Amino acid sequence: MNLKKHIAHHVRDIPRSGIRDFFEIVQSMKNVISLGIGEPDFNTPWHIREAAIYSLEKGRTGYTSNLGLPRLREAIADYVLKNFGIRYEGQTEVLVTVGVSEAIDLALRALVNPGDEVLYHEPCYVSYSPSVTLAHGVPVSVPTFARDNFRMTAAELEKKITGASKVLMMNFPCNPTGATETPEELEEIAALCARHDLVVLTDEIYSELTYDGARHVSIASLPGMRERTIFLHGFSKAFAMTGFRIGYACAPAILTEAMMKIHQYGILCASSTAQHAAIEALEQGAPDVESMRREYELRRNFVVSGFNEMGLECFKPFGSFYVFPSIARTGLSSQEFSVRLLKEKSVAVVPGTAFGPSGEGFVRACYATSLDQLKVAMSRIAEFVRETRAARAAA
């Protein structure tokens, strides 16, 4: 039986993830220091884990409302108002999801008709293009460049807008580049969205992790944008809760209701244990977030200096926990650099091309790893770069 022909065409045509290929090689090796893990190295703060345990002890293990526990939704609305200055109605405009990944999928499926174009900046998180395809939309990437520190500019965005454009997806601070947008740039992008009647999906999962005193501004907080924006956020990065799989979408009630229709049949509700943990995180977790943020900031400084000292140009990102250095001077492609570094020095970084073709010439290194490990990894990378250059010079 030819099962392949039974696979839906739009699923079959999605290429295999570049990260997954790389993962297989890393898995087969021992003693690798991985800078390829896009999650915090901290354990979930104890009081949050304890809240999850307590909810289990109390037997709070039933389904919750489709939208999520009312208390959690209220806590989310308060948090978003306090930290982002956007007012949402907890009972009708907040939907608790299984991580931001589910929220992205819901938002796209709720908005996109077959053939609608969805714009997103690239390099970007690996799921953006496939999620659009799975929602029967047409992914349209907007390139970002090292010369702009990987910010999306209104000028580049405008070039890609057509009559079929419907949605703009954004993720700042950005995985994989660490890029952030300034309020002025966001205003220009917002004006374009209003002019072309685009709905904005803004994935702000790294918004707590900003450095050098940079203040995060959400596009949803700009005048006139709340009504055309779906604000996506979650607990994975700031609260180190990746495995809890818990996130949320905030949007005008009509959009929340549309997403809820898909969520209720596909998922029913997010895990009740994770929801109880999330309440604790929002109510008591701010000091933990700040102490982890401070730690990431030191590591970022260390890693950025390290890459620049070894001649791999790397801008100092203001957010997330990634750096995206250029490896062009080694003369290797992203894939070659990453595979050889792994095989020769047992250090894993992710080839920039895993985040879209425009990631060629770059690699993503995540500094959510202990400083001790980072020090060893950086000295091994420096050694690798020196050897590569010497070999090139000799050739």
Partner 1 sequence: MDALLTLLKRDAHAPPEDLARELSLSVAEVRARIAHYEQDEVILGYQAILNAEKLGEVSVTAVIEVKITPERGGGFDRLAARIAQFEEVTSCYLMSGGYDLLVIAEGRTLQAIAAFIAEKLATIHGVISTATHFRLKVYKENGALLHREKSEPRLAVAP
Among the listed residues 7, 298, 390, 391, the single contact to partner 1 using CB under 8 A = 298
At its nearest, how many Å lie between partner 1 and the CB of residue 103? 16
> Cβ-count burial of 118 within 10 angstroms (0-12 exposed, 13-18 middle, 19+ buried)?
buried
Q: How far apart are CA 104 and CA 131, in angstroms?
A: 8
DSSP codes of every residue in 293-306: HHHHHHHHHHHHHH
Q: How far apart are CA 113 and CA 104, in angstroms?
A: 15
At its nearest, how many Å lie between partner 1 and the CB of residue 127? 7
Q: Where does this chain touch partner 1 (CB under 8 A) — which range of 38-46, 56-64, 89-97, 186-194?
A: 38-46
Q: Which H, E and C letters describe 40-108, residue by residue?
A: CCCCCCHHHHHHHHHHHHCCCCCCCCCCCCHHHHHHHHHHHHHHHCCCCCCCCCEEEECHHHHHHHHHH
**Cβ neighbour number for residue 391 with a 10 Å cutoff:** 11
| 14 near partner 1 (CB under 8 A) | no
Q: Which is nearer to partner 1, 198 or 366 (CB)?
A: 366
Q: Where does this chain touch partner 1 (CB under 8 A) — which range of 32-40, 106-114, 202-210, 329-337?
A: 32-40
Q: Which is nearer to partner 1, 39 or 360 (CB)?
A: 39
| 41 near partner 1 (CB under 8 A) | yes
Size (the chain), residues = 395
Restricting to residues 128-187, which ones interact with partner 1 according to CB under 8 A? 175
Q: Which is nearer to partner 1, 14 or 371 (CB)?
A: 371
Dig out the tokens for 389 from the structure.
Answer: 């250059």
Q: Which is nearer to partner 1, 36 or 68 (CB)?
A: 36
Q: Which is nearer to partner 1, 327 or 368 (CB)?
A: 368
Residue 334: phi and psi, rounded to 5, are -55, -45
Instruction: List the one residue out of 301, 229, 281 whose CA is nearest residue 55.
Output: 281
Distances (CA, A) of 170 to 102, 123, 167, 181, 271: 16, 11, 10, 10, 27
Restricting to residues 339-368, which ones interact with partner 1 according to CB under 8 A? 348, 350, 354
Q: Which is nearer to partner 1, 279 or 349 (CB)?
A: 349
Among the listed residues 19, 267, 289, 382, the single contact to partner 1 using CB under 8 A = 19
Among the listed residues 125, 248, 321, 337, the single contact to partner 1 using CB under 8 A = 125
At its nearest, how many Å lie between partner 1 and the CB of residue 350? 6
Q: Under a CB-based contact definition with an 8 Å cutoff, are residues 125 and 203 in contact? A: yes
Instruction: List the one residue out of 257, 228, 259, 207 whose CA is nearest residue 103.
Output: 259
| 292 near partner 1 (CB under 8 A) | no
Q: Which residues bind partner 1 (CB under 8 A)?
A: 17, 19, 22-23, 26-27, 32, 34, 36-39, 41, 43, 125-127, 175, 294, 298-299, 301-302, 305-306, 348, 350, 354, 371, 375
